[in-house]
Amino acid sequence: MKIAVLTDSGSALTKESGKALGLYVVPLEVIDGTDAFRDGVDMTTQELYERLRLQHTPKTSMPLTSEIEDVLQEIKRNGYTHIIAVPLSSGLSGTYNTMRMCAEDLAIPMTIIENYTTCDLQCHDALLALACSRQNMEPEAIKAYVEDKVKESGTLILPNDIQHLKRGGRLTPLAAALASLLKIKPILTIGPKTKGTIDVYGKVRTEKKAQHVAVQAICDIMKNSEGDIYVIHSDRLDKATNIADIIQKECPLVKVHVNTICAVISAHTGLDCIAIQYIKK
């Protein structure tokens, strides 16, 4: 059995960067007014940031069905007989079901992994699946292995503009209600415990306190464990680097990475957002 691993641009990968890692990637869409852009193809993350700085309020959409079908046909032409799909959380997008339906229509066997996340953690899970496939593991064994790792992962989000997130419609009712409160800095979370939706982890009065609470919470989980922590940001490298340095000192056994929040997710978070993602080895 020859297995391909498929993900989407919610993983912060483009078609090109995914190909370099051995992954297939379908782009989600960013919609700004009447213009639609394929994430990582027609629009870069920096170009999305520029639109946000101009006070645009872009929306996002699932990959075009034709894009998914084209990639599935490419996978089939390349001699693969099974696909492991690692789309962004089904709690955020219908991509999960669209991939499944396209595979059924084209009679291509597909096993889908629910990772309850997005961004760099989604990429991490796709690479775990790829590593398993290269060890000749069967599809269901790969799914079980990755989903077991997912149980020990999660994300805390520190949005600067909660109203921007609210407009995107990706918050639970409680989180959306917090957006109306003044002088509240919510700490949001997404992961297995929230079934891949964005919910409230905590609420404090200041940005500094929110950062401290989030960093401490993740360090409490990871300080004695090996694994990876991803500090990702929407156009705030200085803040992300500072947080990463603090975490690395507190958690010497983990690998700490800094990256941008990709365009299709930044369209919802807005600028000046930090997310801290973790997964145990």
Inside any domain, residue 45: no
Q: How many CB atoms lie within 10 A of CB 149?
A: 18
Same domain for 146 and 168, yes or no, is no
**Same structural domain, 9 and 107:** yes
CB-side exposure of 57: number of CA atoms within 13 Å?
8
**CB neighbour list of residue 66: distance below 8 Å, 6 or more residues apart:** none
Round to whole Å and give the CA distance between 129 and 134.
Answer: 9
Rg (CA), the chain: 18
Sheet containing strand 227-233, strands side by side = 199-204, 185-190, 153-158, 274-280, 227-233, 254-260
pLDDT at 163: 64
- Residue carrying the six token digits 């960093």: 215
* pLDDT of 12: 96
Q: Which of 115, 131, 150 is the last residue of a domain?
A: 150
Residues 208, 135, single domain; the answer is no
Q: Where are the alpha helices (DSSP H) in the chain?
A: 15-21, 45-53, 65-77, 95-105, 119-133, 139-150, 162-167, 173-178, 207-222, 237-250, 263-269
Per-residue pLDDT of 51-87, as tens digits, reads 999 989 899 999 999 999 999 999 999 999 999 999 9
Give the end of a domain, one of 123, 150, 177: 150
The yes-or-no verdict on residue 263 having pLDDT over 60 is: yes
277 close to 232: Cβ distance less than 8 angstroms: yes
Backbone angles phi, psi at 29, to 5 degrees: -110, 140
Percentage of residues of the chain with pLDDT beyond 90: 85
pLDDT-derived band at 197 (thresholds 50, 70, 90) equals very high
Does residue 268 form part of some domain? Answer: yes
Taking 80 as the threshold, does the pLDDT of residue 267 lie above it?
Answer: yes
Query: Domain boundary residue among 150, 176, 208?
Result: 150
In a domain, residue 185? The reply is yes
Q: How far apart are CA 140 and CA 94, in angstroms?
A: 22
Q: How many domains does the chain have?
A: 2
Query: In this structure, is residue 53 part of a structural domain?
Result: no
CATH assignment at residue 178: 3.30.1180.10
| Confidence band of 105 (pLDDT split at 50, 70, 90) | very high
Q: Which amino acid is at 232?
A: I
* β-strands 185-190, 153-158 pairing: antiparallel
- pTM of the full structure: 0.92
User: What pLDDT, in 10s, does the model give residues 119-176?
Assistant: 999 999 999 999 999 999 999 999 999 999 999 999 999 998 766 666 655 556 666 5
Compute the 3-state secondary structure of the chain and give helix, strand, coil in percent, each to the nearest 5: 45, 25, 30
Q: Which domain holds residue 118?
A: 3-28+63-150
| pLDDT score at 229 | 98
Residue at 162 is within a domain: yes
**Core vs surface per residue 119-147: b (16+ CB within 10 A) or e:** bbbbbbbbbbbbebbeeebebeebbebbe
